[in-house]
Amino acid sequence: MENVKNVVHQGYHVTKEMRQQSNKHGSFVIWLTGLSGSGKSTIANALDHFFYNNDYHAFVLDGDNVRLGLNKNLGFSPDDRKENIRRVGEVSKLFVEAGSIVMAAFISPYIQDRQEVRSLFQQGEFIEVYIKCSLEQCEQRDPKGLYKKARKGELPDFTGITSPYEISTSPEIIIETDQLTVEESVDKIINYIKANQLI
Ligand SMILES: Nc1ncnc2c1ncn2[C@@H]1O[C@H](COP(=O)(O)OS(=O)(=O)O)[C@@H](OP(=O)(O)O)[C@H]1O
Ligand SMILES: Nc1ncnc2c1ncn2[C@@H]1O[C@H](COP(=O)(O)OP(=O)(O)O)[C@@H](O)[C@H]1O
């Protein structure tokens, strides 16, 4: 807080509302949280196809990609994950201000970190989607071979094995990827967004 003592927020002349009107849809965050291999990236990209094909302004922020650039100085300790999520929350807020729909696909294992991101947004702008999948199923999928490495002790602080995942009590949406297909998962999310008149 000390660092921002003499910094004053500058209002934008072209407002978020003007951009939303011009884009002809709302801007908000679909925050996909869950274990590695649960299906966050797959569903985020399937949503992106839907939005792209239907002329919506949307973009995916994905853990792996953000960690190769903006957050390349961060690891997987609780403090580093917290800072990772804080920065991604702020980037998501900029996208929403710019009139875009954001799909943020991050493990984001701590309830408090997710709540802090939620608090950056207005009511209804932050949609938490818990991508629910058992550890056993995620481990069986193991799309990047990371669980195998973690079990061999080659990957410290691995979520679900040697690092915790805290389940939210009331996310807006729960998607069980060991029950639904990718298409059914996308439909469930889109139906929620339409029912809440965000698009
Ligand atoms: N120790 C450890 N624990 C969990 N994940 C690990 C780890 N090391 C590397 N990876 C890879 O990093 C991706 C998760 O990055 P996130 O930014 O989503 O993590 S977090 O939200 O800060 O917890 C994660 O991507 P997903 O599998 O898509 O979840 C992994 O590819
Ligand atoms: N219903 C489903 N939803 C999402 N992914 C699924 C589903 N069923 C099987 N999968 C597979 O599970 C894996 C999930 O990997 P990924 O999307 O990278 O997960 P995460 O981003 O959570 O690590 C992919 O190989 C995907 O094809």
**CATH code: domain of residue 66:** 3.40.50.300
Mean pLDDT, rounded, of the chain:
97
What confidence tier does 146 reach under pLDDT thresholds 50, 70, 90?
Answer: very high
The one-letter amino acid code at 102 reads: V
108 lines ligand 2 (CB under 6 A): no
Using the mean position of ligand 2's atoms as its centre, give its distance from the Cα of residue 43 in Å: 7
**Mean pLDDT value of segment 184-199:** 97
- Residue 81: inside a domain, yes or no? yes
121 in any annotated domain: yes
In a domain, 62, yes or no: yes
Instruction: Indicate which atom in ligand 2 lies nearest the CA of residue 63.
Output: 21
Confidence of residue 4 (pLDDT cuts 50, 70, 90): confident
Judge whether 34 is annotated as a binding position: yes
* Single-letter amino acid, residue 178: D
Sequence letter at residue 101: I
- The reported pLDDT for the residue numbered 3 is 83
pLDDT at 145 over 70: yes
Question: Do the domain assignments include residue 70?
Answer: yes
Instruction: Give the gyration radius of the chain's Cα atoms.
Output: 17
State if residue 159 touches ligand 2 by the CB under 6 angstroms criterion.
no
Nearest to 32 by CA among 20, 17, 48, 16: 48
In a domain, 9, yes or no: no
Our answer to whether residue 108 is catalytic in this structure is yes
Q: Residue 31 domain-assigned?
A: yes
Res 1: pLDDT: 62
CA of 23 to the centre of ligand 2 (A): 31
As a whole number of angstroms, the distance between CA 79 and CA 82 comes to: 5
pLDDT over 90 at 79, yes or no: yes
Whole domain around residue 166: which residue ranges? Answer: 14-194
Please give the structure tokens belonging to residue 84: 């990772």
As a whole number of angstroms, the distance between CA 195 and CA 129 comes to 15
- What's the token pair of residue 8? 């004053």
What is the pTM for the complete model shown? Answer: 0.97
Task: List the catalytic residue out of 27, 92, 100, 108.
Answer: 108
Strands (E), 34-125: 58-62, 101-105
- Number of independent structural domains in the chain: 1
Residue at 5 is within a domain: no
The answer as to whether 7 is a domain residue is no
Q: Does the beta carbon of 176 lie inside 6 Å of ligand 1?
A: no
3 state DSSP class of 83: helix
